Amino acid sequence: MLTTISGQQLTSSSACRPSSLEVSSTSDTVSLIIVNYNACACLVACVSSALNQVDEVVVVDNASIDDSLAQLEAVFSGDRRLKIVRNRENLGFAAGCNVGIDHSSGSCLLFLNPDCVLEQDSVSRLLQVLDDHQDVGMVGGLLVNPDGTEQAGGRRAIPTPWRSFVRAFGLSHFADRWPRLFFDFHLHKQPLPTHPIEVEAISGACMLVNRAAIQSVGHWDEGYFLHCEDLDFSMTLRGKGWKIMFVPDARIMHDKGGCSRSRPLFVEWHKHRGMMRFYRKFFHHQYPGPLMWLVALGIWLRFSLVAAHHSALLTLRHLGFQRG
């Protein structure tokens, strides 16, 4: 039967964490780690697509209030490969990933969003690229939308403050004339490569990481609750000399936002808060103070506009409901 572990730590502190660095892993095994929070039916579809491609599945539940775990247990009640870890409160994505690390045993760890569905043999393709390059610590695949088009974020450059400024003001149109100056950090509009390529960052929706790489950098930064922790993890790995590869023939369907549409303001708040943490952590020494102040102003101005937009939509829907 599946394993269920209840009563995880109430905070994200790692003081009492049973360090995964002491876990002896078996060579060439893959542990899938899914952080769940009210993913509904998405969770069953995700696990179903992955169960025969990995050696174990660790679902870390952040105190969901829907029936996603009940559905999962009903479908996979007799499968010993599945382990469910129940947190008593929502610790956030990064902390949830760390809990998953501590309860996994594979030599490679596949972090996957519950709104993702793996296509056949996608894990074996990712694993092959990871095995073929000893200096590669992490690989990611081709994220596609439900309509089959490539999704932004699967392959990207690090969004430095300057690159973010270029994108925000549409200056990437000048990239044809000055490519180094007006570079857009999203790469999905470029032609899809025919072979694995090195990139600066991949999406946290699907990351296959060598445990040795995790051992060299430590756990995910739990200062992020939601969003930008994948950029932080990419920067940290590269800072330790590990390469990151994008594998175009490993396809993953990602229903982006499928688990967060019910709380858009909550998600946007933590997204912008994560952006602030990311810029302060990695770039405050490289950019002058006034520029970082402008970056902060731009981030919170953007959040204000997004919040106003969502609030207006909610108001209109409410008025429309009342009139109906």
User: How far is residue 227 from each of residues 114, 173, 247, 276, measured CA to CA in Å?
Assistant: 15, 27, 22, 11
- In this prediction, residue 264 carries a pLDDT of 73
pLDDT (tens digit per residue) in 281-323: 998 887 776 767 677 777 667 767 766 766 776 676 767 654 4
Domain boundaries, the chain: 3-12+22-153+188-254, 264-323
pTM, to two decimals? 0.83
Rg (CA), the chain: 20
pLDDT, position 305: 73
- Tell me: domain 3-12+22-153+188-254, CATH 3.20.20.20, correct? no
Residue 159 has a pLDDT of 85
Percent of the chain at pLDDT exceeding 90: 57
Residue 36 in contact with residue 68, Cβ under 8 Å? yes
pLDDT tens digits for range 139-175: 999 999 999 999 988 999 898 877 777 766 666 777 6
- Closest Cα partner for 104 from 237, 223, 201, 219? 219
In Å, how far are 25, 61, 105 from 5, measured between CA atoms? 20, 10, 15
User: Of 105, 132, 92, nearest to 32 (Cα)?
Assistant: 105
Q: Specify the higher pLDDT residue, 265 or 30.
A: 30
Does residue 12 register a pLDDT over 50? no
Q: What is the pLDDT of residues 82-133, one digit of tens each?
A: 999 999 999 999 999 999 999 999 999 999 999 999 999 999 999 999 999 9
